[in-house]
Amino acid sequence: MTLEQRCYRTLIVSSNENFIKEIGSLLSVESHHKESASSASQARRMLLENVYDFVIVNAPLTDEFGTRLCTDAGSNNSTVTVLFTANDVYEEVYDKVAVRGVFVIHKPTSGSVISQALSLLVSARERLRTVEKRAGKAESKIAEIRVVNKAKWFLIDHEDMSEADAHQYIEKAAMDAGITKVQAAQMIIEKYG
């Protein structure tokens, strides 16, 4: 799937309606499903109900500055967060949140800088998507290894096999039945479990 075919769910959080409109106008209608919130508490409710690819916060908000909202939203490893903050507090804010993966942009800024930043956010989100896929495959492989190891221990305990013999037994059972090692291991677990 190319980037043009992706649709990113984007939450824009700002107490300033003009900021929401300006950011919204820079996000293409085809590739961004845009929602907005006017406060951190409203954004948190929305974050409980939905998973967003991007959370864009214009600090300060009416009920908090916005750093905590960004770090909380970014704790979901699939969400990329960006915080717009005043130039005079930029360094302090950056030092607090950059280590938590939050992108920080000083304001005032130009539309071209914002457009570039949004492009960088897309790149970061796609990188996260790649990492998520790899992590999912690794977790799946670990789960399979656990099932096979559990079956081996049942064979070791109940059939007095060595670990190598138990492994070979599971492989042969899978081959003979035309099933995967995991399926063969699950059958052994059901038999002895």
CB 92 within 8 A of CB 67: no
How many Cα neighbours within 13 Å face the side chain of 121? 27
pLDDT recorded at residue 126: 80
Q: Which residues does the chain have with pLDDT short of 70? A: 1-5
- Overall pTM > 0.75: no
Q: How far apart are CA 186 and CA 89, in angstroms?
A: 58
For residue range 96-109, what is the model confidence (pLDDT) as tens digits? Answer: 999 998 999 999 98
What pLDDT score was predicted for residue 138?
Answer: 83
Nearest to 191 by CA among 151, 156, 162, 164: 151
Amino acid 193: pLDDT: 79
Q: In whole angstroms, how far apart are CA 128 and each of 2, 102, 167?
A: 15, 14, 36
pLDDT of residue 63: 96
pLDDT at 12: 97
Complete edge-to-edge strand list for the sheet that includes strand 80-86: 32-37, 8-13, 54-58, 80-86, 103-107
